[in-house]
Structure 1
């Protein structure tokens, strides 16, 4: 059995993914945004927990260092995400639009900093079907709405995943839409519970069936947005991410 890091695993889909993987006999390192959440995980019997607010580049780098010290990992599941509320455009301490930073840029930075495992799973969303990557306005400075920011950030995350799949053919890399799941982030009106949401990410983490460089829903390959597969766009996006994180 392998060692697996699951980001955003203090509650919701990420917690269920971690629970199922532990039930299968894997050593799971969980991630919490802050020490209070980490303390609750440890009190509940969790093993190793790394802490880091992905809305901070410094905290993301510190988390990557802490995780690397616990590795190497066989699998990393990039599950952490943020759904912006109605209101003004949210900006982090780094001067970046929060939705893009948490959902896409942090996944890029963690992948760049933590030694590559044999598998990477990026938990995305079917909202990418209405997303658009605008390299000239990744921060949504021209026009910001919660829905477009979320969809565009998840599309960017998916394109980043496919770029890493292409650049690292020895690593099995895939993205996944878990479904509309009842969590604190998505709300209680969602029709599906976290068991359903965890199923395909867990399958991608441990099954020998999937290949690499694909987008999955319900264990089936789906194609939702052509931009995610545009290799020139992928490369340009990685360059922008490297510049934004000073990680070129």
Structure 2
């Protein structure tokens, strides 16, 4: 039995992933943006161990969230699921990229880390110079390339951790919209599988998955010089250093 923390698990893919892991007998701690959403999450996922709250658009709230996670002890896996789409560039950058960086740095190191990217990252650009302006020119696609880059950097720097990124597909959630063509079930199965499976195909690091298969990705994410520049900029923005 594994213990997993999932960001953005009050609804959508995060909620569905939490339900699946609980059905499989694992212990899951949820995360919601605020107390009201937290209460709803616990009502909708009655088997969850607990819910923690924190607005990931705020660096200070994200730091406090990491503290609260650590107070609950060490987790086997953390799934960085939370994300926003049709909002301002600075909000996209804060929630989709800066929050996973901050939580990765501050939460006690789990055995497995899973980051939600997107097939749209293929149209993204690293735009590292934009980051100095707190992500004012960062698109959704850019943010998902950057979180993939984070996943690859973690895999390189922490060889004792399985760190991977997932494209859940364009699925019919609140974010994806009712007309999204991809399979919703497949949209949340891969991150659950990466979090707990003993399958050799899941016990890897520095990979990018779509529907439980390794998939083509933008190799800019593998560039170690860009990774280091990205980590330095994230440190400047958050005041949090990446632990060696």
Fold shared by both chains (TM-score > 0.5): yes
Aligned equivalents of 2:33 and 2:124: distance in 1? Answer: 26
Aligned equivalents of 2:176 and 2:216: distance in 1? Answer: 23
- How much does 1:178 deviate? 0.6
Match of 2:74 among 72, 89, 112: 72
- Corresponding residue for 1:23? 23
Secondary structure (helix, strand or coil) at the match of 2:235 reads: helix
Conserved? CA contact 2:4–2:79, under 8 Å? yes
Secondary structure (helix, strand or coil) at the match of 1:179 reads: coil
Q: Could you state the TM-score of these two structures normalised by the residue count of structure 1?
A: 0.91
Map residues 116-127 of structure 1 onto 2, 5 A cutoff.
116-127=109-120
Aligned equivalents of 1:70 and 1:192: distance in 2? Answer: 36
The structure-2 alpha-carbon separation of the partners of 1:169 and 1:102, relative to structure 1 and needing over 3 Å to count, comes to: same
Aligned equivalents of 1:101 and 1:64: distance in 2? Answer: 15
Aligned length: 234
Instruction: Please list every run of 5 or more consecutive structure 1 residues that lacks an aligned counterpart in the other structure.
Output: 91-96
- Corresponding residue for 1:235? 228
Deviations 1:196-218 (A, max 9, x none): 21111111111232211010111
- Corresponding residue for 1:93? none
Conserved? CA contact 2:9–2:18, under 8 Å? yes
Map residues 1-248 of structure 1 onto 2, 5 A cutoff.
1-44=1-44, 45=46, 46-85=48-87, 89=88, 97-138=90-131, 139-141=134-136, 144=137, 149-208=139-198, 209=200, 210=202, 211-248=204-241
Conserved? CA contact 1:122–1:161, under 8 Å? yes
Secondary structure (helix, strand or coil) at the match of 2:9 reads: coil
Aligned equivalents of 1:19 and 1:6: distance in 2? Answer: 11
- How much does 1:71 deviate? 2.3
Conserved? CA contact 1:3–1:71, under 8 Å? no
- How much does 1:140 deviate? 4.8
Deviations 1:150-206 (A, max 9, x none): 000010011011101100000000001011111111211102353221111111111
- How much does 1:219 deviate? 1.2
Conserved? CA contact 2:85–2:175, under 8 Å? yes
Conserved? CA contact 1:33–1:51, under 8 Å? yes
- How much does 1:103 deviate? 0.2
Conserved? CA contact 1:16–1:194, under 8 Å? no
Secondary structure (helix, strand or coil) at the match of 1:22 reads: helix
Aligned equivalents of 2:120 and 2:37: distance in 1? Answer: 28
Deviations 1:21-52 (A, max 9, x none): 11111100000011111011223424300001
